[in-house]
Amino acid sequence: MKTALITGASRGIGEATAYQLAKEYDCVAIMSRNTDGKLNAVANQIHTTTNCECIPFTGDVSDFAFVEDCVRSLATSGHPVDTLVNNAGISLVGLFQDMTPEEFDCILRINVTSVYNTCHAVIPDMVRNQRGRILNISSVWGLVGASCEVAYSACKGGVNAFTRALAKELAPSNIQVNAIACGVIDTDMVRVLGEETLRELAEQTPLGRLGRPEDIAAAVSYLASDKASFITGQVLAVDGAFVL
């Protein structure tokens, strides 16, 4: 019985990753915050199209107690997490000087503290089982920094460093920790930029197009698979060569 937990799975990259891992796992647990029905729609889609069990959790991934409760309920129902995909995240575009302390704190909690929360909750079972995979969905902005996305870049740079450090700490327990630095992926998060900007971003991408959520899901699938059992502590850019 293999279980994957994917945060931010109601739409975008997390949704595509949930569909991909549902083909490969016995159970996928999916998490997101809004009560707009999208998460349940993803769960229904998985139930009707695969043999995979799908367990949705609605709540805020930056809430330590909520995450701990979800992971405990998975373990007690016979689904300790084998693969964790830390995908939930938000972006914040604007001048650094216009950012309030509350906004800075909020983006850090959702993009970084959440990764602490989920890892802290799943690692004890992974150590006990002497196996596990943790995939952090990061960004090329965490590698090179983006103007008007200082806080977001800081979050993703932090996630990259977190990934490398945790990989070293958990390697003796046969737990691999990797990150994927996404380029521009066609989801709600970037659609707010408008069609004109997205066209320019596609032109600036050497492969000549925006990434698709499925491109990231495929990389997650690979890094979570046995084929990647000697890969840990890496930040893999999946970006069509956007930052080369």
The count of other CB atoms within 10 Å of the CB of residue 90 is 15
**Binding flag, residue 127, ligand NDP (CB under 6 A):** no
User: Order of strands, edge to edge, in the sheet holding 27-32?
Assistant: 53-58, 27-32, 3-7, 83-86, 132-139, 175-182, 235-238
* Binding characters for ligand NDP, 155-194, by CB under 6 A (x = yes): ---------------------------x-xx-xxxx----
Total of chain residues touching ligand NDP, rule CB under 6 A: 30
**Binding flag, residue 92, ligand NDP (CB under 6 A):** no
CB of 234 to ligand NDP, least distance (A): 16
What is the DSSP-derived secondary structure letter of residue 172? G
* Binding characters for ligand NDP, 96-125, by CB under 6 A (x = yes): --------------x---------------
**Binding flag, residue 90, ligand NDP (CB under 6 A):** yes
Contact criterion met (CB below 8 Å) for 190 and 199: no
Contact criterion met (CB below 8 Å) for 186 and 210: yes
CB of 17 to ligand NDP, least distance (A): 9
Closer CB to ligand NDP, residue 25 or residue 152?
152
Closer CB to ligand NDP, residue 27 or residue 107?
107
Closer CB to ligand NDP, residue 16 or residue 123?
16
**Binding flag, residue 153, ligand NDP (CB under 6 A):** no
**Binding flag, residue 84, ligand NDP (CB under 6 A):** no
19 belongs to the catalytic site = no
Closest by CA to 30, choosing from 48, 11, 2, is 11
Long-range contacts of 77-81 (CB under 8 A, 24+ apart): 78/1, 79/1, 79/3, 79/27, 79/29, 79/53, 79/55, 80/3, 80/122, 80/125, 80/126, 80/129, 81/3, 81/4, 81/5, 81/29, 81/122, 81/125, 81/126, 81/132
**Binding flag, residue 212, ligand NDP (CB under 6 A):** no
Q: List CB contacts of 227: < 8 A, sequence separation 6 or more.
A: none
Indicate the angle between helix axes 213-223 and 12-22, nearest 10 degrees.
50
**Binding flag, residue 131, ligand NDP (CB under 6 A):** no
- Of the residues 19, 25, 116, 152, only one is catalytic, namely 152
Chain positions contacting ligand NDP, by CB under 6 A: 7-14, 31-34, 38, 60-62, 87-90, 110, 137, 139, 182, 184-185, 187-190
**Active site positions, annotated:** 152
